[in-house]
Chain A
Amino acid sequence: MSRKHLATIKDPDKEVPKIAREMCAEMLKELERANRPVLEAIKCSLDNSFYDHKVGYLTPGEKTVKTELNVSSVLKMSRSVFFLEILLRNLDSGAVNTKRELYYIAKGECKQNKKLKPLDFNDQVESDSIIDFICELMEIYREEINCFANDRGGQTYCQNLIVTEHMPDGTKATIDLSSLGTTPFQPKNRPQSFTIKPKKGQIDFCLVVESEGTANTLVTNGFTKRHNAIVMGAQGVPSNGVRAWAKTIQDQLKIPIYFLGDLDAYTMQNIFRTLKAGSAASLIRNKDFSAPEVRFLGVLPDDVKKYDLTNYNVDPRDPVEGRSLKKAQDALANDPFFKDKKNKGVSEILDWLIKEKRRCEQQAFFMVNPKDPQAFEKIILEKIKKKDYV
């Protein structure tokens, strides 16, 4: 059943409630025929990930995961249908919730309706996994079912940016980022639905800094006053909000985006790759949650040499560091993103990290000219000017 179902879901203006009802009708029909309903979802794993640099992000292959009604899946299926009801109700009314809130809403339902009692959730992990399962089945992301996480990161500073948000109630909110000081604008919920434009003329570039603290330092020291640029803090592994925001900046402003972070395998694979091309776990939503134009500005292996930056040894015997080295080797061998010729620059950095077993932090640039508070800023500008990025 699901194959033909998938076709419907891929419909560009998909209507979540409609898909959900069709899916349930199909399950019921199978049961009437004494057949086991089968739910089919795209397999979200590296071995089903494909990368084409012309597309720019990881896309799913043909592999699917089938869940058939049986002893071990019956609870999961019952819970999924039960949760769909809650989510559909939210979509109907326009209400939104976090995963945590949904966990309690589900518990409340189970408490009020004795018949549902056996479905009750013991912890949020259980309810989260059902929400994720529904998203996979319907090939939607949770924002499409009005489920929003408290997204981390994305703190944005700019003297030349106007953001317009379309509110659920039909009203509009407009934010002029130049009216803010050192307190950032932070996009929430669905940044794809924001309309953004420069206050005047064009913005030159966007700089995404791995450390939100360092992003704030740059701004407080006057970066956005001196340069017609957007500065954004990623705050570690980019959340859905950060990813969607970067994508929105890329698509609507069409300006170069540079990423600045630590020189280590974790940053390359988990932070930069996710920002630029998405992840295997989020195959179905990479399209809307990645910014393929993002460039890696640093720290580059050459910077370490050129600026004589303090760097550290990576000990393969250390359990954490050893594992990340192993993962990097794995990525070079199996990750279609790093294997693509177009991303040779990035995979060369990964290769360098494995061979040299060194790592260097973004803040190391502060040692270059310690007396000059603008030294870091100058290095960044110089690197951009010289196209010293990959």
Chain B
Amino acid sequence: MSSSKITSSSTAEYFSKNLQQVGFSSGTKAVLTTLKEAIDNSLDACEEAQILPEIHVEIERVGQGTQKNMDQIRVLVSDNGPGIGAEDLAKVYGEYLASSKFGRGRCSRGQQGIGISAATTWAQLTAAKGVTVITKTKRMPQALKALIEVDIKKNQGSVIEKKNITWDRPQGTCVEFFFDGRLQLQGEGGILTYLKGTSLVNPHLSLKYKINKEEEISLERVSNDTIDLPDAVSPHPHTMKLGEFIHHIHLFGKVSVQNFFEKGFSRISSDVTNEMTKHGFKKAWLNRSLTDLSKDEQHKLYQALQSVELMAPSTKSVLRIGEEALSKSVDRLGEVDFFSVVSRKPQICDAKPVVVEVAVARLKNRPSAEEEQSAQVLRFANRVPLQFDKAACAIVKAIESVNWKAYGLAQPKNSIPLGPYVIAVSVVSPFIKFKNASKETIDASDELVEELRLAIMQAGQKLSRHIKKELRAADYEKKIQHIEQFGPILIEGLGRITSASENQLKKAREGLMKILGRDSEVALEDLKKAEEAHQKMTGKGGASSLSEAGSEEEASSGQETEKSSDKKSSKKNKKDKNDDEQTTLALEGDA
């Protein structure tokens, strides 16, 4: 570790010393990150190849870890994706910054080519063994099985063992890691939370998973549409930091600045370059080669670009899960009472196109003690669950800023609402800004938080209709109890005033029971009608149609306060023909 070595150190060496920055800061995180990187890659690869993903996961504790307080964990992830060519294997798993997705302005999960190589490194460092890969492309006659390790000094992958095997599928990839870690299943950093979240935002995913010796769980896909990945967009200059810009310059190398502007970016027209001259840009630079620009000139170029007004980037590049698919997917969260989903149209936030989608669900059969617990928040960035450092995240800030009480949920001031709810918020954008390298916290810019807030509020409003409906059902029940309680008192009072015989009273009680029976029938029928109307309403998809449905329902369930001594049932439904509205008038008349 002498300083001379560090100067020539490879990217791999750098990362191997800083694994904590990329998701390996603890045992539980190591398991989650490894799993996540593998699944991300599988999903990305399937999407790219227009394949409906089938992913199989096995996670188990196999023994003692090499480090204190660590277990040895085995993680296996296999997919039905396009497979990886033999020539790429070493690169993919053993080399940092080797990605087919880098800087392409797509909403893919992996972005930088760090993830899976970091997992290999971690396995190598803690279990002295890299990753075992089985892969087969359509063209390969046989599958290839190999152990791949990272040559940290050279930032190169080396294939240690390599053999051809027959495999049970025409194409796909399977990776297996052994490494030091700790299994955490539930809770915010839990593996099950990750798998649940991943299945929620990937309705087209069929997922089977087996954890330890437990029975395998199978989550079938709920959508048969392959994801239409929007075309990649060239980066928008305003979405880049100086470092990224300079990196971008290096990628292009020996081309003219003119050419760099045209090929490397969206939205830089000749009008823009004219405008840039007012901000320190020299027209003559256009014909110079990028590599000839001095560091200082590169800075000036960057600054001039940031100083001009540019058209906002196109929103076409952003992918939406969609309300329909999301609705179907919600059921995979567990036993769901009811839910609402909102899929916003693409918006520009901080000069970047972004799509926000929200699902809020109430889970069934949660013990009542949990009512007081905060709702579970599932955060997603480009359909990857975010499970750590939630406090500063834009999504959490937005959820906390919403007044959930208005939708019938309990909420401590400026906090996440309480109860057996899941609030899932997905942000998709080719340019998500994270607060740190481990990509767990979305930067909370005002514009993004506001957009998130709008989406969450819409979902809350929709949800409140379910909650109100539920209250209505409870109301009917209360009404029936009400008459059961007071009817007999009424009859006894009448009996005392009229000195009626016991026989008369008995008959009157029977009469009351008959009336009561009719009332409960009517109440039940009303409830059924309300439920039907409700189903009709939720059957409609799309945010716009839902707002119409909202007003429709408002009209049919208008509640009014009855000024009567009967405060307990003062809320009533106009549909309930039995309610004597006129009583209200009489009392108010004498006010």
In the complex, the chain A residue whose C-beta lies closest to that of B509 is A31
Most chain B beta-carbon contacts within 10 A, residue among A31, A136, A280, A281:
A31
Q: Of A84, A121, A132, A133, which is within 8 A of B497 by CB?
A: A84
Number of A-B contacts (CB under 8 A): 155
Listed A/B pairs (23) with beta-carbon separation below 8 Å = A21-B497, A21-B498, A28-B494, A28-B498, A34-B510, A43-B586, A44-B586, A65-B582, A65-B583, A67-B580, A67-B586, A69-B490, A69-B515, A70-B580, A71-B523, A72-B562, A72-B569, A73-B580, A74-B486, A78-B490, A82-B489, A118-B486, A122-B567
Task: Tell me whether A72 and B578 are in contact (CB under 8 A).
Answer: yes
Known: A24-B498, A28-B498. A74 touches B578 (CB 8 A): no
Known: A31-B512, A32-B508, A77-B490. A65 touches B519 (CB 8 A): no
Most chain A beta-carbon contacts within 10 A, residue among B495, B562, B565, B569:
B565
Once bound together, how far apart are the Cα atoms of A72 and B579, in whole Å? 6
| B534-591 at interface with A (beta carbon < 8 Å) | 562, 564-569, 572, 578-580, 582-583, 585-591
Whether A45 sits at the interface, judged by CB under 8 Å, is yes
Contacts of B492 in A (CB 8 A): 115
Once bound together, how far apart are the Cα atoms of A201 and B589, in whole Å? 44
Once bound together, how far apart are the Cα atoms of A34 and B515, in whole Å? 6
Task: Tell me whether B493 and A81 are in contact (CB under 8 A).
Answer: yes
Task: Tell me whether A34 and B511 are in contact (CB under 8 A).
Answer: yes
Task: Tell me whether B519 and A24 are in contact (CB under 8 A).
Answer: no
Count contacts on B: residues with CB < 8 A to the other chain: 49
Contact digits for B451-490, partner A, Cβ 8 Å, 1 yes 0 no: 0000000000000000000000000000110110111011
Q: Of A20, A119, A122, which is within 8 A of B489 by CB?
A: A119
Whether A68 sits at the interface, judged by CB under 8 Å, is yes
Known: A43-B585, A85-B496. A74 touches B487 (CB 8 A): yes
Chain A residues in the interface with B (C-beta under 8 A): 20-21, 24-25, 27-28, 30-36, 41, 43-45, 65-79, 81-82, 84-85, 88, 115-116, 118-119, 121-122, 126-127, 129-130, 132-133, 136, 280-282
Q: Of A41, A70, A118, A133, which is within 8 A of B485 by CB?
A: A118
Whether B6 sits at the interface, judged by CB under 8 Å, is no
Contacts of B562 in A (CB 8 A): 72
Task: Tell me whether B489 and A118 are in contact (CB under 8 A).
Answer: yes
| B399-435 at interface with A (beta carbon < 8 Å) | none
Nearest-neighbour CB distance to chain B for A87, whole angstroms, equals: 10
Once bound together, how far apart are the Cα atoms of A251 and B381, in whole Å? 87
Chain B residues in the interface with A (C-beta under 8 A): 479-480, 482-483, 485-487, 489-498, 500, 504-505, 507-508, 510-512, 514-515, 519, 523, 562, 564-569, 572, 578-580, 582-583, 585-591
In the complex, the chain A residue whose C-beta lies closest to that of B520 is A71
Contacts of A126 in B (CB 8 A): 565, 567
Interface of A is mostly: helix
Closest 3 CB pairs of A and B: A81-B493, A34-B511, A31-B508
Apart from A28-B498, A35-B511, list 15 A-B contacts with CB within 8 A: A28-B495, A30-B511, A31-B515, A34-B510, A35-B515, A44-B589, A66-B580, A70-B580, A71-B480, A72-B578, A74-B490, A75-B568, A121-B565, A126-B565, A282-B590
Task: Tell me whether B587 and A133 are in contact (CB under 8 A).
Answer: yes
Task: Tell me whether B482 and A74 are in contact (CB under 8 A).
Answer: yes
Task: Tell me whether B590 and A136 are in contact (CB under 8 A).
Answer: yes
Known: A20-B497, A75-B566. A132 touches B587 (CB 8 A): yes
Contacts of B479 in A (CB 8 A): 71-72
Task: Tell me whether B585 and A65 are in contact (CB under 8 A).
Answer: yes
Task: Tell me whether A130 and B495 are in contact (CB under 8 A).
Answer: no
Known: A65-B582, A88-B497. A28 touches B491 (CB 8 A): yes
Nearest-neighbour CB distance to chain A for B416, whole angstroms, equals: 36
Contacts of A119 in B (CB 8 A): 486, 489
Once bound together, how far apart are the Cα atoms of A195 and B305, in whole Å? 102
Once bound together, how far apart are the Cα atoms of A76 and B567, in whole Å? 10
Task: Tell me whether A71 and B494 are in contact (CB under 8 A).
Answer: no
Q: Of A70, A115, A121, which is within 8 A of B578 by CB?
A: A70
Contacts of B504 in A (CB 8 A): 28, 32
